[in-house]
Amino acid sequence: MDRRRIMEEAIHSGEMEGAYVSEEFRRDAELYVNGDIGIEELGNRTMRRWNIDKPEESKDAHDRSASLSPQDAKIGKP
């Protein structure tokens, strides 16, 4: 499947679910389709636009919580 079709289907799917697809995203998607940016850059631009933490930052938080001992993890649970 080519990039254009993948992007068209992704946008359509989002719209069918009620998602807002901005003109900025559509422009970035066109850059991706044309090969001017990669999928990682498309994702980075989208996350910056919506002020979403990068996965690496989220992963670090997950790693810190995963390092809790089993006893610490039970705190606050009945």
Please state, in angstroms and rounded to a whole number, the distance separating the CA atoms of residues 48 and 16: 24
For residue 52, the model assigns a pLDDT of 86
pLDDT of the residue at 57: 54
pLDDT value for 59 = 53
pTM of the model: 0.63
Q: What is the pLDDT along the chain (78 residues), one digit of tens a residue?
A: 799 999 999 999 999 999 999 999 999 999 999 999 999 999 999 999 999 886 665 555 545 445 544 444 444 444
Angular region, 35: left φ>0, alpha ψ -120 to 50, beta rest: left
The pLDDT score that the predictor gives to residue 7 is: 97
